Structure 1
Amino acid sequence: MRSVLCFGASNTWGYEPGTGRRFSRSVRWPGRLQQALGDSAIVYEEGLNGRTTNRGDANRVPTNGYAYLKPCLLSHAPVDLVIVMLGTNDLAQPRLTAQDIADGMQEIVELLASTAVGQNWQPPAMLVMSPPPLLEHLAELYGPAVARSRELAPLYRYIAGQFGAEFLDAGEFAQPSAIDGVHLDAEGHRALAEAVIPVVQRILARLDAADAAIGSAEKPE
Structure 2
Amino acid sequence: MREKTILLYGDSNTHGTKPMSGFGESERFTPNERWTGILQKKLNQYHIIEEGLSGRTTVHNDPIDGKHKNGLTYLRPCLESHNPIDIVVLMLGTNDLKTRFSVMAVDIAYSNDRLIAEIKSCYVGSQQKCPQIILLCPPPINEVKGNLGDIFAGGEEKSKLLSHYYRKVASKHNLTFLDIGSVVTVSHIDGIHYDQDQHIKLAQAIQNLIESL
**Structures share a fold, TM > 0.5?**
yes
Q: How does 1:45-194 map to 2 (within 5 A)?
A: 45-56=50-61, 62-92=68-98, 93=100, 95-116=102-123, 121-135=128-142, 141=150, 142-194=152-204
Distance 1:54 1:140 in 2: 22
Equivalence for 1:12 = 14
Q: Give the whole-Å Cα distance in 2 for the aligned partners of 1:151 and 1:89.
A: 15
Q: How many residues align?
A: 200
Structure 2: distance between partners of 1:152 and 1:128:
12
Residues 112-165 of structure 1: CA distance to partner in whole angstroms, max 9, x if unpaired? 222229x95221100000111102676984432101011111111111111121
Q: Cα–Cα, structure 1 residues 61 and 24, in superposed 2: closer, same or farther, change >3 Å?
A: farther
Q: Could you tell me how far apart the structure 2 residues matched to 1:111 and 1:101 are?
A: 15
Aligned to 1:208: none
Gaps in structure 2 of 5+ consecutive residues: none
Letter in 2 for 1:49: S
SS in 2 for 1:121: coil
Given residue 170 of structure 2, which amino acid in structure 1 is its aligned partner? A
Normalised TM-score (structure 1):
0.84
**Residue ranges of structure 1 left out of the alignment (5+ in a row):** 204-221
Structure 2 CA distance for partners of 1:197 and 1:97, relative to 1, 3 Å: same
Q: Deviations over 1:167-190 (max 9, x none)?
A: 011111001110000001101111
- Matched to 2:71, the amino acid is G
The answer as to whether partners of 1:115 and 1:122 remain within 8 angstroms in 2 is: no
Q: Name the residue aligned to 1:212.
A: none
- Shift in CA distance, 50/127, structure 1 to aligned 2, threshold 3 Å: same
The structure showing larger relative contact order (alpha-carbon pairs under 8 Å, at least 6 residues apart) is 2
Contact 1:3–1:41 (CA under 8 A) maintained in structure 2: yes
- Greater Cα radius of gyration, structure 1 or 2: 1
The percentage of aligned residue pairs carrying the same residue is 37
**Is the CA contact 2:33–2:199 (under 8 Å) kept in the aligned structure 1?**
yes
Q: In structure 1, what is the Cα distance between the partners aligned to 2:183 and 2:53?
A: 22
* 1:87 Cα offset (Å): 0.4
Structure-2 change in CA distance of 1:123 and 1:140 (3 Å): closer
